[in-house]
């Protein structure tokens, strides 16, 4: 019986560590995008595995939209301190004040405004590479994303001009002003991320676990009730036992009703969600999305 065997998490881990070290070896001024979300929590552990006992050879960078869950920012700052890492935070607010980002009239979402804020930070610190936690299983369009994703001097991604990636040989060469995004978790699924969090006993922000929260029904989802977009009189508001599955801004992050209180519970929940016959929930969402479409059609 041979012991020269790596299980799936160990294989994903060694692949990701290899990519992290390629970044340290090939780029002059890399940064790691750290939001405090579950994927970037895994990235940080992988960075520790890649670079300890030395200091992390790259700072952490976060774009704060101003609409973050407070739990998330608290976690982000604490984790960076624990690691002795340098944390750079650039805010959308500040980018607006400096004229780098322009909200459209009535635009509340900060999704679009994150982009110029990030690009300005990249320019300010002359970062040539940003490591991010995106995974290919997140959506169809990501399935073809590279580990090393090239951005031109305007920060743009040109899907017609991607470099082929063969074996584990990544081409990190850049001309001045160009930039690379690197995604070490490309081959990880949501399940892998949680299994890794369990194996490594990683702390995650409390909002991933079941908690009571006042939610508002909007666009077929339960969103956290918040001051930024207060519930309208015709919107249903309820106190629910929920958790979040992915973390975005507080005005757009869907909460799922769930009793999952531990990482084990979450893993069981994800496993069950995959094998359950398509129940009422999926139909529910489809019809609600259709309803939403009608509402939009009527509105415009």
Rg over alpha carbons for the chain, rounded to the nearest Å, is 20
Task: Give the CA distances from residue 107 to residues 50, 102, 197, in Å, rounded to whole numbers and listed in that order.
Answer: 41, 10, 36
Q: What residues between 130 and 169 interact with another protein by CB under 8 A?
A: 136-137, 140-141, 143-144, 159-169
Query: Please, what is the minimum distance in Å from the beta carbon of residue 28 to another protein?
Result: 13
Interface stretch with another protein, choices 6-14, 119-127, 220-228, 246-254 (CB under 8 A): 6-14
- Which of these segments, 67-75, 190-198, 222-230, 239-247, binds another protein (CB under 8 A)? 190-198
Of the candidate residues 29, 126, 238, 285, the single one contacting another protein (CB under 8 A): 285
Query: According to the binding rule CB under 8 A, does residue 192 interact with another protein?
Result: yes
| 221 binds another protein per the rule CB under 8 A | no
Regarding 265 and contact with another protein (CB under 8 A), the answer is yes
CA separation for the pair 184, 174 (Å, rounded): 19
By CB under 8 A, the count of residues binding another protein is 71
Binding flag, residue 84, another protein (CB under 8 A): no
Cis amide leading into 53 (omega within 30): yes
Q: Is 232 in the site for another protein (CB under 8 A)?
A: no
CB of 208 to another protein, least distance (A): 16
Q: Is 291 in the site for another protein (CB under 8 A)?
A: no
Distance of closest approach, residue 2 Cβ to another protein, in angstroms: 7
275 binds another protein (CB under 8 A): yes
Restricting to residues 44-63, name those near another protein by CB under 8 A: 48-55
Q: Which long-range contacts (CB under 8 A, 24 or more apart) does 153-156 make?
A: 153/177, 153/178, 153/179, 155/115, 155/119, 155/122, 155/179
Which lies closer to another protein via its Cβ, residue 5 or residue 294?
5
Contact call for residue 11 and another protein (CB under 8 A): yes
Smallest gap, in angstroms, from Cβ of residue 97 to another protein? Answer: 36
**Least distance in angstroms from the C-beta of 286 to another protein:** 5
């Amino acid at each position: 019986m041979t012991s020269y065997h790596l299980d799936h998490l160990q294989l994903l881990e060694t692949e990701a560590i290899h990519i992290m070290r390629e970044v340290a070896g090939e780029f002059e001024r890399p940064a790691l995008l750290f939001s405090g979300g579950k994927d970037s929590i895994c990235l940080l552990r992988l960075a520790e595995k890649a670079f300890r006992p030395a200091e992390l050879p790259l700072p952490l960078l976060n774009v704060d939209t101003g609409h973050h869950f407070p739990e998330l920012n608290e976690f982000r700052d604490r984790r960076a301190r624990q690691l002795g890492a340098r944390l750079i935070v650039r805010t959308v607010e500040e980018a607006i004040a400096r004229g780098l980002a322009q909200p459209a009239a009535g635009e509340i979402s900060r999704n679009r405004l994150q982009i110029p804020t990030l690009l300005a930070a990249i320019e300010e610190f002359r970062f040539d590479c940003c490591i991010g936690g995106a995974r290919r299983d997140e959506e169809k369009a990501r399935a073809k994303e590279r580990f090393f994703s090239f951005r031109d001097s305007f920060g743009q991604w040109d899907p017609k001009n991607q470099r082929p990636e063969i074996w584990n040989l990544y081409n990190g060469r850049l001309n001045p002003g160009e930039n690379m995004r690197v995604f070490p978790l490309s081959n990880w699924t949501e399940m892998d991320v949680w299994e890794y969090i369990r194996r490594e006993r990683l702390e995650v922000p409390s909002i991933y676990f079941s908690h009571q929260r006042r939610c508002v029904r909007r666009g077929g989802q339960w969103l956290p009730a918040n001051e930024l977009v207060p519930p309208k009189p015709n919107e249903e508001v309820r106190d629910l036992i929920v958790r979040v599955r992915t973390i975005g801004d507080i005005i757009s992050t869907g909460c799922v009703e769930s009793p999952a209180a531990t990482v084990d519970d979450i893993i069981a929940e994800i496993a069950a969600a995959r094998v359950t016959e398509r129940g009422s929930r999926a139909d529910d969402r489809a019809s609600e999305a259709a309803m939403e479409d009608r509402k939009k059609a009527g509105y415009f």
